[in-house]
Amino acid sequence: MDSDNPDIAYSTSGLTKVYGEGSAAVHALRGVDLQIPEGELVVLLGASGSGKSTLLNILGGLDQPTAGEVRFFDHQLSRMDDRALTLYRRDHIGFVFQFYNLMPSLTARENVELVTEIADNPLTAEEALALVGLSERIDHFPAQLSGGEQQRVAIARAVAKQPRVLFCDEPTGALDSTSGRQVMEVLQQVNQTLGTTLVIITHAATIAGMADRVIHFADGQIRQIELNSEKCLAQDLVW
Ligand SMILES: Nc1ncnc2c1ncn2[C@@H]1O[C@H](COP(=O)(O)OP(=O)(O)OP(=O)(O)O)[C@@H](O)[C@H]1O
């Protein structure tokens, strides 16, 4: 593994995840060897059940592998206990999921402030919401925002603590094409202006066009990795 290279954010070796035991065992990851350079926008594609979320959960410190190694820079995630993983997630990782999980009784600003109040070196809620193009909606409640706007608040909340890595699991899965494209524009903006490493799971294969690296998953293994020499702008994605 090239784990001493400071530019490599993640390095996995023989990463294996088995859920359950015996005849009920599900082999979700079957020996994944992968490197993700810092600052890249990475897209994970693959059929339902191919292991994408399992990989993302392990890289993000939400789950532990059954076997194999995963490093985040010079930290061995696969040997961390729950407390160390909690600190790792708190200090370095942001998550965005298909559903936005905003607090309905709080405004956009207050939803972001839930994070900025406990982070070390956060953006202000105003800065984070400006980054996602929602300065005009800062005092709106989730019910007063479209699905795409709610997802952008969720992105503002995730990036406000300035994580080194942002993991997105189907961020456009619940959105129409126009809102989905706007969300991808915002994610591209986060990658380019904050330098955040992005790992995005999607079923929308068109999104691969804006990635530095496209990882094709099948049956718990990497089938193929493509490097894009020319990336397209999110605004030019055709859905
Ligand atoms: N907690 C769990 N317990 C048991 N099996 C699980 C668990 N989580 C995932 N699996 C199984 O592991 C395999 C990989 O699932 P995973 O969610 O990683 O795939 P995926 O590629 O993200 O799929 P999707 O695109 O549908 O989200 C599947 O067969 C799934 O049923």
What is the 28 CA–ligand 1 centroid distance (Å)? 6
Give the atom of ligand 1 at the shortest distance from the alpha carbon of 220.
Answer: 14
pLDDT of amino acid 78: 87
* Tens-digit pLDDT profile for residues 2-11: 445 669 999 9
> Is 114 in contact with 157 (CB distance < 8 Å)?
yes
- Ligand 1 pocket, 116 CB below 6 A? no
pLDDT reported for residue 8: 96
**Which of 3-12, 70-79, 132-141, 159-168 is predicted with the least confidence, judged by mean pLDDT?**
3-12
122 lines ligand 1 (CB under 6 A): no
Ligand 1, residue 50: give the atom nearest the CA. 21
Taking only the tens place, the pLDDT of each residue in 19-45 is: 999 999 999 999 999 999 999 999 999
Q: What per-residue confidence (pLDDT) applies to 163?
A: 96
pLDDT surpassing 90 at residue 101: yes
Lowest mean pLDDT among 11-20, 29-38, 174-183: 174-183
Give the DSSP per-residue string, 161-215: T--SEEEEESTTTTS-HHHHHHHHHHHHHHHHHH--EEEEE-S-GGGGGG-SEEE
CA of 199 to the centre of ligand 1 (A): 17
